Amino acid sequence: MGRCSPVIVLIIVCGGRTPAAQSTKPSTPVAIAEAFFAHLAKGETRKGYDDLFVGSPMTSQPTQVEALKRQTDTAIVLYGKVLGVELHEERKIGTSLVRLVYVQRLQKHPLIWTIWFYRPSANWQVNQIVFNDQLLVP
């Protein structure tokens, strides 16, 4: 297999208080993540991230969020059309923290996504997201 060019990995970690999520948002971490990946598969990167970050403290870091959107678009251009996504792991840490690891299948090469969800009160929010093309599975 040919060499793959590394994609810059961006990690965004957030803390602090956030406004309540909208009621139309999916209610579980898996449902939220799968809605995000459905947008990516349709070429709707911006919409996917905007929906993913509803109620998240990540919205207070617009520069980092924009960089993440650009890096995601770059990876999809580099590795080809999205073919699908597979949930590799769902790890619950207590009742308010969940780590999801996904394999996103693209035409030329997969991406590994790790998404941390936190529930400070009633609604889940994304507190960290990272993807890589080096097949580093946490």
Q: pLDDT by residue (tens digit) across 66-92?
A: 999 999 999 999 999 999 999 999 999
pLDDT band of residue 26 (cuts 50, 70, 90) is confident
Q: The whole model's pTM is what?
A: 0.81
CATH at 107? 3.10.450.50
Domain span at residue 89? 26-132
Domain count, the chain: 1
Is 78 domain-assigned?
Answer: yes
Is 98 domain-assigned?
Answer: yes
How buried is residue 64: exposed, middle or buried, by Cβ count under 10 Å (0-12/13-18/19+)? middle
Is 49 domain-assigned?
Answer: yes
Is 87 domain-assigned?
Answer: yes
Structural contact between residues 116 and 14, judged by C-beta atoms closer than 8 angstroms: no
